[in-house]
Amino acid sequence: MVHDWLCGYRGGEAVLDRIARVTLELGQCAGLFVMVDDGRAVSPLIDALPRITSCLQEIPFAATRLRRHLLPLYPRAVADLSDRLADEHRRRPLDLVISTSSAAVKGIRPPPGVPHLCYCHTPPRYLWSQQGQYASQGVATRAGLALAGPFLRSWDAQTADHVTAFLANSRHTAREIRRCYDRDSQVIHPPVRTDYFTPDRSRPREDFWLLAGALEPYKRAELAIEAAWVADARLVIAGGGSMLSTLRRRYRAPGVSFLGRVSDEHLRDLYRRAALLLFPQVEDFGITAVEAQACGLPVLARRAGGAVETVLEGVTGAFFDSPVPSAIASAAVRIPREATDQCRLNALRFSESTFDASMRLSVCNLIGLRHNGLSSRAANC
């Protein structure tokens, strides 16, 4: 298994954990190959896997505050992981390489004859779709993307040839894979913990809006805050990320509460009590929007990206088209009331069991392809 990095637990790690569960039913995992690892616990299953890191791990702070600034070195890190993967294959022949990627590791080169299945969350946003929003983080980031961007886009496109089969987390991502890599892909939506995120009908809805998730530039938290001001709505923001400190300084005002990163229990409680989940960004899929609906919470989302696949207009939420505060505030009045049952039913389409079945079939197909249907692993599928 190959993953970009282990630097906390977010949506990508949730998918990684579930893929590991599926594949370990079929055989052993030789190891989890990552560019960098900050050493923190991720999940019991992931933590139990042998971890192999790239040459970037030797650079001080590479897994923490320098990680994003090392972007020009990602191709070197992936090449190094490819060499380490080849060494592992010589010691113990591999049946399959599975990568989960939104940055660089889809470019890993599998050993000859070994298929590579890539679960792609997105082609790198900072190279292909949201360069401007990432460049807004500062002069150094803007200069780095301007200088290294053309080379990195070329490298990223070329290394798509190292992938035998692409899985996309949404139809939106499938279109991006076609646009950026000229490759087809199968859509398997990410797993959502619908057994954990459930409604609590004993908890009455309150009047606050909720924004949940990592506070990164493309998440458009500033747009959510300004929309809440226009609508005179109280906004609760749950999540950490690179923009948290900046947003706290910029938007010191009554009615806006920054909670930082919260526990799963706290997040579920917020989903159960909020009036709506605000989803102002263009997301590749957007697990938080489905988690919210699993708890009976309707979603106010931009009509773009994965949200159009997960939110049912007028049934489980409402859309806005123009990413400006006034448009969001106007759309908020169209949020459906008493939509708990509809939201819950819609969210169940994205359950873990649905993901497991689709992922198991994809893995078995490639294992069977390698062994011409003769291996015991393929037979067990």
Amino acid at 245: S
* Best CA proximity match to 37, nearest among 74, 76, 8: 8
Let me know: does 63 contact 83? Beta carbons within 8 Å: no
In terms of Cα–Cα distance, which of 264, 263, 210 is closest to 234? 210
For the residues 33-59, what does the mean pLDDT come to? 96
pLDDT at 255: 93
Predicted pLDDT at 378 = 45
Asked if residues 133 and 152 have their Cβ atoms less than 8 Å apart, the reply is: no
Q: Any idea which of 213-227, 255-269, 285-299 has the lowest mean pLDDT?
A: 213-227
**According to the model, what pLDDT value does residue 359 have?**
96
pLDDT-based confidence at 216, cuts 50/70/90?
A: confident
Tell me how far apart the alpha carbons of residues 127 and 314 are, in angstroms, rounded to a whole number: 35
Which of the pair, 267 or 149, is modelled with greater confidence? 267
Q: What is the mean pLDDT of residues 165-194?
A: 97
pTM of the predicted structure, to 2 decimals:
0.86
- Residue 375's pLDDT band (boundaries 50, 70, 90)? very low
Pull the structure tokens for residue 259.
């909670």
**Average pLDDT of the residues in 60-67:** 91
pLDDT in tens, 69-88: 899 999 999 999 999 999 99
Per domain, the residue ranges of the chain are 2-191+352-380, 209-350
209-350 and 2-191+352-380 share a CATH fold: yes
Contact 204, 229 (CB under 8 A): no
Mean pLDDT for all residues in the chain: 92
Which contacts qualify for 23-29: CB closer than 8 Å, 24 or more apart?
23/96, 23/98, 23/363, 25/360, 26/360, 26/363, 26/364, 26/367, 26/377, 26/380, 26/381, 27/95, 27/377, 29/1
When pLDDT is averaged across residues 317-337 and rounded to a whole number, the result is: 97
- How far is Cα 160 from Cα 99, in angstroms, rounded to an integer? 12
Residues making up the chain, counted from first to last: 381
Q: What is the pLDDT of residue 349?
A: 96
Going by CATH, does the domain composed of 2-191+352-380 fall within 1.10.10?
Answer: no
pLDDT at 5 over 60: yes
What are phi and psi for residue 128, nearest 5 degrees?
A: -120, -30
Question: What is the rounded CA–CA span in Å between residue 5 and residue 20?
Answer: 15
Consecutive H or E run containing 36: strand 32-37
**CA 231 – CA 225 distance, rounded (Å):** 10
Give the pLDDT mean for 238-245.
Answer: 91
- Assign a CATH topology to domain 209-350: Rossmann fold (3.40.50)
For the record, the structure tokens of 284 come out as 């590749």
- What was the pLDDT predicted at 379? 47
Predicted confidence band at 376 (pLDDT cuts at 50, 70, 90)? very low
